[in-house]
Amino acid sequence: MYYRTQHSSDNEDDRQEKVKGSLLPKPVSYGGLPMLTIRVEKIGLKDAVSYIDPVITVSVKDASGSDMTAPQDTPIAMNKEGSYLIYNVDVFVQKCIDSLPLGFAIFFELKHYKPKKKDVSTKCWAFMEKDEIKEGQAALELYKKPTDFKRKKLNLLTVKPLYLHVKLLINI
């Protein structure tokens, strides 16, 4: 889970861990089964520069919304450029794509710190289903919170052409 990195009484080791995120190492592929690496490149938001400590939580869920792998948090965005939060970080899906059940999806939740509430809030989210997993670049639509892991009520965040930009690599 994501935590504050500034204005905190935590010791320096804890702060460094939070800045790094909770990304897991690249898993070993057995028997030539395809493993997925997702490079989270950037996310476009009209007010991108205003977010404090923005991270993206990546999770793999089955059709009923249950976790199939442990959720992973990216490090805090490395840069803010115009209407983009820049991440350029690799997230390794911890299970072989072929071993995931029918109806699974990969979710991306943008979370940020709200000082007035002293809490972390989800701003928006995106998802990718199995048929969208193809090597190369992808631009995912952004949806309003709350995150709907069952994908029943989808409400676009904006009509503007702002997306989560990822690059997919299938490793064998």
Which DSSP category does 156 fall into?
B
Q: Mind giving me the DSSP string for 50-102? A: G-EEEEEEEEEE-TTS-BSS--EEPPSPSEEETTEEEEEEEEE-SS-GGGSPT
On whether the CB atoms of residues 90 and 38 are closer than 8 A, the answer is yes
Flag whether the pTM goes above 0.85. yes
* 3-class SS of residue 151: coil
Tens-place pLDDT, residues 109-128: 999 999 999 999 999 999 99
The structural domains of the chain, ordered by start, are 12-171 (2.60.40.150)
> Rounded mean pLDDT of the chain?
90
Tens-place pLDDT, residues 53-65: 999 999 999 999 9
pLDDT of 77 over the 80 cut: yes
Length of the chain measured in residues: 172
Quote the Cα angle for 140-143-145, to 5°.
Answer: 140
**Which pair of tokens denotes residue 100?**
């995931």
Compute the distance between CA of residue 75 and CA of residue 87 in angstroms, rounded to an integer: 8
Tens-place pLDDT, residues 20-49: 799 999 998 888 899 999 999 999 999 999
